[in-house]
Structure 1
């Protein structure tokens, strides 16, 4: 089947993601050591719950504050997230070219805080993808769950067999393939360009 939808991961695909920059911001806010903040955030399981939509944004911010021993406002959290992101212009350029002949969208493992504020966090992504930036939390499951992919492409009116998913994590690509999508493990924009070209998505 020809590809009619290309679904991109965000972190480490469309945007370079520096988790350490995010940790430094939260460490400065809380006054806690870098390693302790990193362990607290990702070792607690809270991020995974938020990504899977098992906790709403306000509760997520409150729980983050409790773990760090300080108040974490929406603005605090967004600033830390923004500091960790920078556009991957090579991949964005590929996506823009693909968009001329094919639908494009973003599916990222994140709470709605990220997608609801994508223009603040990474304006080039917001400008290119518009409303088609989706958080896994919106689908009550995180990648690589097949539910995440199927609900996302259904909301776009696409079929799995006509959808291509691009992610830097092999497990997520495997989940997409299990859901019936075509998958590509992202290792760099040059390899991705060749994949898209072979599928006729850059030269239709």
Structure 2
């Protein structure tokens, strides 16, 4: 199938659609909980809690409970979303490229994040979110993470998409390789400029 046959584009989120800073997110939670910055980092990341949640190994209640207990504050869904929004910024150049895509081209998101990320994404990329609505898939829901080949198969099944007609873009080459292993067209994208080059190469803009 030729590059000109692409009918759908599946995007990674962090590092592609939006810039993401662990440090800003940690700072937001630390300020909320009156906790030390390094303590929040230890509980959220060093302990493996975030990875467990991203992989669907624990549910949202357990995740928020452990996070709150670890940093000494009650962390509810709105607080968590607020911290994720504080650490994320939509890429304006990417936004412009997406706005220039044909309205008939279906777009989706496949991200290595826990279930709550599906509620944060609409706030982070609000202007472009209507193009993705109903097609945002998180690894925590699929219970498997990129670059495992099965996550791409599950994503395609849930979306009802054909691999040969789908372009996948991610900022991590291992994830691109995983997508290619199941027949997806896949390219590495790290910013708006590289996304533009890929979209032009596939004759999408």
Q: TM-score, normalised by structure 1?
A: 0.91
CA contact (8 A) 2:177 2:186 kept: yes
Q: For residues 86-124 of structure 1, what are the alpha-carbon distances to aligned partners after superposition, in whole Å with 9 as ceiling and x for unaligned?
A: 111211222232342421111111111111343334322
Instruction: Find the counterpart in structure 2 of residue 7 from structure 1.
Output: 10
User: 2:80 and 2:32 mapped to 1: Cα distance?
Assistant: 10
User: 2:121 and 2:178 mapped to 1: Cα distance?
Assistant: 25
Unaligned ranges ≥5, structure 1: none
Distance 1:165 1:197, change over 3 A: same
Alignment of 1:119-138 (within 5 A): 119-138=122-141
Alignment of 1:166-185 (within 5 A): 166-185=169-188
CA contact (8 A) 1:144 1:176 kept: yes
Q: Which moved more, 1:63-72 or 1:41-50?
A: 63-72
**Partner of 1:123: helix, strand, or coil?**
coil
User: 2:137 and 2:148 mapped to 1: Cα distance?
Assistant: 15
**Partner of 1:112: helix, strand, or coil?**
coil
Instruction: Find the counterpart in structure 1 of residue 75 from structure 2.
Output: 72
Instruction: Find the counterpart in structure 1 of residue 84 from structure 2.
Output: 81
Per-residue deviation, 1:14: 0.7
Runs of 4 or more, structure 1, over 6 Å off, are none
Q: RMSD of the alignment, in Å?
A: 1.7
Unaligned ranges ≥5, structure 2: none
**Partner of 1:124: helix, strand, or coil?**
coil
Instruction: Find the counterpart in structure 1 of residue 204 from structure 2.
Output: 201
Give the alignment partner of residue 34 of structure 1, picking from 32, 37, 51. Answer: 37
Q: TM-score, normalised by structure 2?
A: 0.90
User: 1:111 and 1:122 mapped to 2: Cα distance?
Assistant: 17
